[in-house]
Amino acid sequence: MNAFGYGESPLQKLSDHGWESRNIHVFVKRDDLIHSEVSGNKWRKLKYNLAQASHLKKSGILTFGGAYSNHLLATASACNDHGIQSIGIVRGDELSESSNPTLARCAELGMQLEFVPRNEYALKSEKGYIETLQNRFPDYRVVPEGGANYYGIIGCQEIVRECDGEIDHFFLAQGTTTTSCGVLLALAEHQHLTVVPVLKGFESRKEMEHVLMRASLSESSISEYLQRVTVLDDYHFGGYARYSEELIEFIRFFHRKFGIRLDPVYTGKVAFAMWQELEKPEFEGKSVVLVHSGGLHGIPGIEARLGEKLF
Ligand SMILES: Cc1ncc(COP(=O)(O)O)c(C=O)c1O
């Protein structure tokens, strides 16, 4: 670990005869290797929230999550590594520290867990509710669920800054759009971003507009930025956390071929989409980056649903 943070993630080149014969260079930005618990875009979104807490001399971070939240676990672990305290507001007052391994690990890492009823949790983005929490915990910096705020966007810009300027194209899975907005704002003029929303019927461009407006960008610069985005909304495989046998087979194939694990919720979908897209002539002679945004913590749950090992 550096003084602050965990250092840059590797940019791994993938080797494939088909791509090479068409002079296509494909890399994976291995954010899944940043840390075993603070993996992928979780760290990108947390980094400057933690830095800000430290700068403001706050003693900790207060944030929100569900029973199996990777964001809560990442926050607990990153705060523990950096000597910062953490509070997790957890959806469901029927839960406890011993309800599951995620919550148990959060508690072990020193996170103070507050279990709240679902109707109270639903207020997590309301100004009044946040003010009440802020009054109760004045020494804590409140970070929204998933790290989806301005500082989260700033952290995600580093995904691009850590890559070679010669890259032409980035591929990224999309949930709240925070990560993709950060990547978009960091692109050089010649670079392009393709996003794969993992939710069915997701209004990607509208969501990105909202997120960028909250980051205080003007309408005209937002529409300029969005011209550099392609949205592929046919790769959700039925919706959030849905997948098909074809996707599972692709994830296994990708692992055999490149030795990289993907998950069926986010990274498997974007890798599948990229595999198809690269068939298009417009990618000839281009360098592209698949952003591996993590998500591997969910694999045991997926394997339990599948009834067999994924890898
Ligand atoms: C592994 C993984 N990839 C991609 C995303 C999508 O990121 P965002 O919600 O910032 O669009 C998420 C959600 O946080 C995620 O967990």
The answer to whether the CB of 39 is under 6 A from ligand 1 is: no
pLDDT at 4 over 90: no
Specify the pLDDT at position 19: 98
pLDDT at 241 over 70: yes
**What confidence category does residue 220 fall into, taking pLDDT thresholds of 50, 70 and 90?**
very high
The answer to whether the CB of 294 is under 6 A from ligand 1 is: yes
149-175: average pLDDT: 96
pLDDT at 175 over 90: yes
230-236: average pLDDT: 98
CB 238 within 8 A of CB 200: yes
The answer to whether the CB of 40 is under 6 A from ligand 1 is: yes
CA within 13 Å, CB half, 5: 17
Q: How far apart are CA 43 and CA 271, in angstroms?
A: 21
Check for a shared fold between 11-36+149-306 and 59-138: yes
pLDDT at 85 over 90: yes
CATH number for the domain whose boundaries are 59-138: 3.40.50.1100
Specify the pLDDT at position 1: 56
Distance 239 CA to ligand 1 centre (A): 14
Distance 295 CA to ligand 1 centre (A): 8
Higher pLDDT, 310 or 300: 310
Q: How far apart are CA 219 and CA 32, in angstroms?
A: 34
pLDDT at 183 over 60: yes
Please work out, in degrees rounded to the nearest 5, the angle formed at the alpha carbon of residue 247 by the alpha carbons of 244 and 251: 145
CB 289 within 8 A of CB 183: no
Q: Please give the torsion angle defined by the CA atoms of residues 148, 290, 7 and 37, in that order, rounded to the nearest 10 degrees.
A: 60
Distance 135 CA to ligand 1 centre (A): 30
Distance 118 CA to ligand 1 centre (A): 23
pLDDT at 165 over 80: yes
Q: Please give the torsion angle defined by the CA atoms of residues 65, 69, 75 and 76, in that order, rounded to the nearest 10 degrees.
A: 100
Domain ranges of the chain: 11-36+149-306, 59-138
Strand ordering across the sheet containing 60-65: 112-116, 85-91, 60-65, 140-142
**What confidence category does residue 3 fall into, taking pLDDT thresholds of 50, 70 and 90?**
low
- Cβ-count burial of 255 within 10 angstroms (0-12 exposed, 13-18 middle, 19+ buried)? middle
The answer to whether the CB of 155 is under 6 A from ligand 1 is: no
CB 143 within 8 A of CB 63: yes
pLDDT at 2 over 60: no
* Average pLDDT score over the chain: 96
- The class (CATH top level) of 11-36+149-306 is alpha beta
**What confidence category does residue 264 fall into, taking pLDDT thresholds of 50, 70 and 90?**
very high
283-296: average pLDDT: 97
Closest ligand 1 atom, CA of 176?
Answer: 9
pLDDT in tens, 28-50: 999 999 999 998 999 999 999 99
